[in-house]
Structure 1
Amino acid sequence: MTTATALTGVIPPVCTPLTPDFEVDTASLVRLVDHLMAGGVDGLFVLGSTSEAAFLPDGHRRVVLDTVVGHVAGQVPVLAGAIDMTTLRVLDHALAAVVAGVDGLVATAPFYARTHPAEIDLHFRTIAARTGVPLYAYDLPVSVHSKLPADLLLDLAADGVLAGLKDSSGDDAGLRNVLLGRRDRTGLDGFAVLTGSELTVDSALWMGADGVVPGLGNVDPHGYARLYRAARDGDWAAARTEQERLVRLFELIVVGRSRMGHGSSALGAFKAALYLRGVIAHPTTAVPQIPLDESEIAAVGKYLAAADLL
């Protein structure tokens, strides 16, 4: 089970359903939360990359926070991304999330300006000191152009600054170094290490990771819950079989790749899948992302059918 300071299991980054005029579709958001909870997830992460946080104005972010925290009502922990370019801007988001009642915060390294590790260290220490809730580092070098070094993360954990890590770096060796460092140091048992990769969850759990934050978990939370529980129980053959099924399902992210960016295609496919499954009312993505067309949405449906999700 999951607590705010020792996070384990499946914690999907919750998509943000939008209306055709780009407002937050709160009714669809509530249905999505219910869909995820019924799928057996152990927590929820709002306002991350899969939530389109980078595309949402502050008012939209507050609507998401209030809707999800109010609806979940403490059944599972809710983490909120406080993601922005610099520390003072992050603090605005973080303090709003704390007021909304979240159980933890997730922040990347600063970005836009080039950042030294000493500045990243100060960034996380400042957020933790000003907010007073568990803080999770989000390692996302593809977007913020800084890789979080293992020693920096472990030092911050040892000092009580960080409660955990969401590793979306794609660097399996780096993830393993964090896990080894956690094992070798005393007092870091409560530092949660979560993989952000949908495709290598079984291997990350085998290395010692505590859980997964899968964007595809919006579409198939039951599958990731089965995968995690099989690994937890030591049934690695079942975990591998479930992982391989999810790898094939994940191919739906390429349906629009020939005419749009990776993000538009992937987030559009997740939302199209939720739309086809009857969870959200519209597959709208925030501008300037390019929406999937009817043929691309139909192609997503074929992946769902192949995975027995339609």
Structure 2
Amino acid sequence: MKMTLQGIICALITPLTEQEKIDLRGVDQLLERVIGGGINTLLALGSTGEQAMLRDAEKQRLLQAVKSALPAGVALIVGTGDTGTERAIDNAKMAQDAGADAVIVTPPSYYPFADGSLQEYYERIAEAIALPVILYNISRFTGNKLSPELVTKLSADQRIIGIKDSDRDMDYFRQLLKLTQAHKHFAVIQGSDRLLVESFVAGSPAGVSVTANIYPELTVSLYEQCRRGDSVGAQTLQQRNLELVKVIIRHGCFPVELKTAAAGLGLCQAMASSPFPVLSEQDRQQLVHDVQKIIAGETV
């Protein structure tokens, strides 16, 4: 499948059992919900999918389960960034072997790196696999921001097809759109549900949504409204999505809240990797109640 970055991409949660193993039934139910809601591109093992915390064997089990359940026409992007180049290459090869359509790669975390080192990191990964590579900027997690100059250089590489920016900085985002516009194979996509409409209006072809795990129809409709030029309708849906975002970050332990909401909808268990906390029963009930109200079109 030729990888095209367009529309709404769902950043999948990773359904887990209490032993932190892949909840295979949960994976099937989650995919049925997400794909049934109109999503045709999935991002597994991203930040929402706890990629940095899962054991390699469980990552492999997840990819096998997801890929085997995907219908024709649904693309799979896999998060493969790591703390060093060789580790990231190993992850990318695992994703390739599992049948991924592309990999999305954070810069290495923990140590600070200059642009030259980061450029070598991405070029070596692109050289090691036959899949397209997507850059992933989320500097509050990694500590290394992908500079506009670096992104511009990497955007000239035909093996690198885009960047997901999750820094929530629209000035930076617009700068990337402008600096890379000459490279038609390269897409600048929004990584925050908060800024989907603003990004589509600015010219971005795609956005990554976490709320699409539990309410995929909302952001799919938002994108369609933007594509038709209905800014009023799109902004109305954006406000509704923002209400959902507020609920799933309420306790400051994302993605626990999102997985709790998914559990309340019968999609999977609420378990997240240790040392993520478990919400109290009172907090859980309130969160599920509020999510259900928003999905029903009511105010919280």
With normalisation by structure 2, the TM-score equals 0.95
Residues 1-310 of structure 1 aligned to structure 2 (within 5 Å): 4-183=2-181, 185=182, 188-255=183-250, 257=251, 262=252, 264=253, 266-280=254-268, 282-309=269-296
Deviation at 1:275, TM superposition (A): 1.0
Q: Answer with 71-80 or 222-231: which moved more.
A: 71-80
Structure 1 segments of 4+ aligned residues over 3 angstroms from their partners: none
Deviation at 1:302, TM superposition (A): 2.6
Deviation at 1:157, TM superposition (A): 1.6
Contact 2:40–2:73, Cα closer than 8 Å, also in 1? no
Report the Cα distance in structure 2 between the residues aligned to 1:254 and 1:47, rounded to whole angstroms: 19
Between the two proteins, the alignment pairs up a number of residues equal to 297
Report the Cα distance in structure 2 between the residues aligned to 1:286 and 1:143, rounded to whole angstroms: 17
Report the Cα distance in structure 2 between the residues aligned to 1:176 and 1:223, rounded to whole angstroms: 25
SS of 1:23 mapped into structure 2: coil
Deviation at 1:151, TM superposition (A): 2.4
Report the Cα distance in structure 2 between the residues aligned to 1:112 and 1:251, rounded to whole angstroms: 29
Deviation at 1:292, TM superposition (A): 1.0
Report the Cα distance in structure 1 between the residues aligned to 2:155 and 2:132, rounded to whole angstroms: 11
Deviation at 1:219, TM superposition (A): 1.6
Identity %: 27
Q: Answer with 66-75 or 125-134: which moved more.
A: 66-75
Deviation at 1:254, TM superposition (A): 4.0
Deviation at 1:116, TM superposition (A): 0.8
Contact 2:8–2:208, Cα closer than 8 Å, also in 1? yes
Deviation at 1:150, TM superposition (A): 1.8
Contact 1:5–1:190, Cα closer than 8 Å, also in 2? no
Query: What amino acid is the match of 1:301?
Result: V
Query: What amino acid is the match of 1:284?
Result: M
Backbone CA RMSD of aligned residues: 1.4
Deviation at 1:73, TM superposition (A): 4.4
Report the Cα distance in structure 2 between the residues aligned to 1:4 and 1:298, rounded to whole angstroms: 43
Report the Cα distance in structure 2 between the residues aligned to 1:241 and 1:97, rounded to whole angstroms: 37
Report the Cα distance in structure 1 between the residues aligned to 2:249 and 2:46, rounded to whole angstroms: 21
Q: Write out per-residue CA displacement over residues 261-301 of structure 1, whole angstroms, 9 at most, x where no aligned residue.
A: x3x2x211111111111111x11111000111211111112
Report the Cα distance in structure 1 between the residues aligned to 2:248 and 2:295, rounded to whole angstroms: 17
Structure 1 residues 67, 81: closer, same or farther in 2, change over 3 A? same
Report the Cα distance in structure 1 between the residues aligned to 2:107 and 2:84, rounded to whole angstroms: 8
Deviation at 1:305, TM superposition (A): 3.0
Contact 1:273–1:304, Cα closer than 8 Å, also in 2? yes
Contact 1:198–1:215, Cα closer than 8 Å, also in 2? yes
Q: Write out per-residue CA displacement over residues 24-44 of structure 1, whole angstroms, 9 at most, x where no aligned residue.
A: 101111111111101111300
Report the Cα distance in structure 1 between the residues aligned to 2:126 and 2:295, rounded to whole angstroms: 43
Query: What amino acid is the match of 2:7?
Result: G
